[in-house]
Amino acid sequence: MMAERVRVRTMMPPGHVRTPAYLRGKTGTVERALGRFGNPEELAYGRATDTRELYRVRFTMSEIWGKDAERSTDTVDAEIFAHWLDRLED
Protein backbone atom coordinates (compact mmCIF):
# COMPACT_ATOMS: atom_id res chain seq x y z
CA MET A 1 0.00 0.00 0.00
CA MET A 2 1.54 3.28 -1.13
CA ALA A 3 1.63 6.05 1.46
CA GLU A 4 -0.32 9.11 0.57
CA ARG A 5 2.69 11.45 0.64
CA VAL A 6 5.49 10.63 -1.76
CA ARG A 7 8.71 12.20 -3.02
CA VAL A 8 9.95 11.78 -6.59
CA ARG A 9 13.46 10.35 -6.76
CA THR A 10 16.20 12.65 -8.00
CA MET A 11 18.03 10.10 -10.13
CA MET A 12 18.95 11.13 -13.68
CA PRO A 13 19.24 7.89 -15.66
CA PRO A 14 19.85 8.11 -19.42
CA GLY A 15 17.30 6.76 -21.88
CA HIS A 16 13.54 6.99 -22.35
CA VAL A 17 12.28 8.23 -18.99
CA ARG A 18 8.70 9.41 -18.43
CA THR A 19 9.33 11.22 -15.14
CA PRO A 20 9.66 14.94 -15.96
CA ALA A 21 12.83 16.58 -14.64
CA TYR A 22 10.86 19.49 -13.16
CA LEU A 23 9.17 17.09 -10.70
CA ARG A 24 12.27 15.23 -9.51
CA GLY A 25 12.89 15.75 -5.81
CA LYS A 26 9.41 17.20 -5.33
CA THR A 27 6.88 16.00 -2.77
CA GLY A 28 3.26 15.35 -3.63
CA THR A 29 0.22 13.32 -2.67
CA VAL A 30 -1.14 10.28 -4.46
CA GLU A 31 -4.31 11.36 -6.25
CA ARG A 32 -5.15 7.83 -7.38
CA ALA A 33 -3.52 4.51 -8.16
CA LEU A 34 -3.86 3.60 -11.83
CA GLY A 35 -2.86 -0.06 -11.84
CA ARG A 36 0.12 -1.77 -13.42
CA PHE A 37 1.64 -0.73 -16.74
CA GLY A 38 4.69 -1.75 -18.76
CA ASN A 39 7.85 0.09 -17.78
CA PRO A 40 8.53 2.66 -20.55
CA GLU A 41 12.23 2.66 -19.69
CA GLU A 42 12.35 -0.93 -21.00
CA LEU A 43 9.53 -0.90 -23.54
CA ALA A 44 11.18 1.93 -25.50
CA TYR A 45 14.06 -0.41 -26.37
CA GLY A 46 11.89 -3.37 -27.33
CA ARG A 47 12.77 -5.27 -24.17
CA ALA A 48 10.21 -7.47 -22.47
CA THR A 49 9.24 -5.82 -19.25
CA ASP A 50 7.52 -6.54 -16.01
CA THR A 51 4.71 -4.17 -15.14
CA ARG A 52 5.03 -1.43 -12.56
CA GLU A 53 2.45 0.36 -10.42
CA LEU A 54 1.57 3.74 -11.87
CA TYR A 55 0.22 6.60 -9.74
CA ARG A 56 -1.24 10.01 -10.37
CA VAL A 57 0.61 12.32 -8.00
CA ARG A 58 -0.57 15.85 -7.23
CA PHE A 59 1.99 18.60 -6.58
CA THR A 60 1.27 22.16 -5.50
CA MET A 61 2.74 24.97 -7.57
CA SER A 62 4.54 26.26 -4.48
CA GLU A 63 6.21 22.84 -4.03
CA ILE A 64 7.41 22.86 -7.64
CA TRP A 65 8.32 26.51 -8.17
CA GLY A 66 8.73 27.90 -4.63
CA LYS A 67 8.24 31.63 -4.26
CA ASP A 68 8.10 32.02 -8.04
CA ALA A 69 4.82 30.09 -8.20
CA GLU A 70 2.10 31.96 -10.04
CA ARG A 71 -0.43 30.87 -7.40
CA SER A 72 0.79 28.60 -4.62
CA THR A 73 -2.29 26.37 -4.30
CA ASP A 74 -2.76 25.62 -8.00
CA THR A 75 -1.61 22.10 -8.80
CA VAL A 76 0.08 19.84 -11.34
CA ASP A 77 -1.01 16.20 -11.52
CA ALA A 78 1.37 13.80 -13.25
CA GLU A 79 1.62 10.04 -13.73
CA ILE A 80 4.69 8.64 -11.97
CA PHE A 81 5.80 5.00 -11.78
CA ALA A 82 6.32 3.42 -8.35
CA HIS A 83 10.05 2.93 -8.86
CA TRP A 84 10.39 6.73 -9.03
CA LEU A 85 8.57 7.34 -5.72
CA ASP A 86 9.67 7.19 -2.10
CA ARG A 87 7.01 6.97 0.55
CA LEU A 88 7.25 9.69 3.22
CA GLU A 89 6.59 8.96 6.86
CA ASP A 90 4.14 11.28 8.57
> Which of 22, 86, 87, 88 is the binder for other proteins (CB under 8 A)?
22
Cβ proximity to other proteins, 20 vs 87, nearer residue: 20
| Euclidean distance between CA atoms 59 and 76, whole angstroms | 5
Number of alpha carbons in the 13 Å side-chain half-sphere of residue 9: 13
| Integer angstrom CA distances of residue 4 from 1, 44, 46, 83, 88 | 9, 29, 33, 15, 8
Q: Is 63 in the site for other proteins (CB under 8 A)?
A: no
Based on the shown chain and the rule CB under 8 A, indicate whether residue 37 belongs to the binding site for other proteins: yes
Q: Is 54 in the site for other proteins (CB under 8 A)?
A: yes
d(CA 70, CA 56): 22
Residue 78 binds other proteins, judged by CB under 8 A: yes
- Give the interface with other proteins as residue ranges (CB under 8 A): 18-20, 22, 34, 37, 40, 54, 56, 64-65, 70-71, 73-81
